[in-house]
Amino acid sequence: MIIMSVDLGKARTGIAISDKGEGFAFPKKVITEYNTEKLIDKICESAREYEAEMIVVGNPKNMDGSSGWRAEECGQIADKIRDKSGITVNMWDERCTTVSAHTYLNMNDTRGKKRKETVDAVAATIILEDYLNYRKNNK
């Protein structure tokens, strides 16, 4: 099954997809969109383009595991993505994924504009890798 992950941001949203065997996650793109409805349309369009059979949306929980206003907002967006795309949408804990993405980019000496353009796609890839590992270990 091809699974697409989404790392929602206020300005930039990262997209990653898995292979059909759910063994690997690949960063695909970053969507720059400030309007929530247009962003939802672009995410659904990406799901069609990549033939996604499931979508995983990062759930930005607080460090103590509670849900704040941003997690609620992401949950509402995930519901709209599900309704509009007709694809199953799951929320997945994304705590520390952006920090990890910055660490990976530091290790690869990715700086400046290139870093800004890729960090969200890398974060989406980390979310998806974590989700794929969960699925593999909980079949």
pLDDT band at residue 46 under the 50/70/90 scheme: very high
CATH code for the domain in which residue 45 is found: 3.30.420.140
When divided into structural domains, the chain yields a total of 1
pLDDT exceeds 90 at position 117: no
Query: What integer best gives the mean pLDDT of the chain?
Result: 84
What pLDDT is attached to residue 21? 95
Q: DSSP letters of 29-75? A: EEEE---HHHHHHHHHHHHHHTT-SEEEEEE---TTS---HHHHHHH
pLDDT exceeds 90 at position 54: yes
pLDDT band at residue 60 under the 50/70/90 scheme: confident
pLDDT band at residue 65 under the 50/70/90 scheme: low
Give the residue carrying structure tokens 């994304």.
94
pLDDT exceeds 60 at position 50: yes
Phi, psi of 68 (to 5 degrees): -100, -170
Whether the Cβ atoms of residue 100 and residue 126 lie closer than 8 Å to each other = yes
Q: Which domain does 72 fall in, by range?
A: 3-137
Q: What does the pLDDT look like over 102-116, one tens digit per residue?
A: 565 555 555 555 545
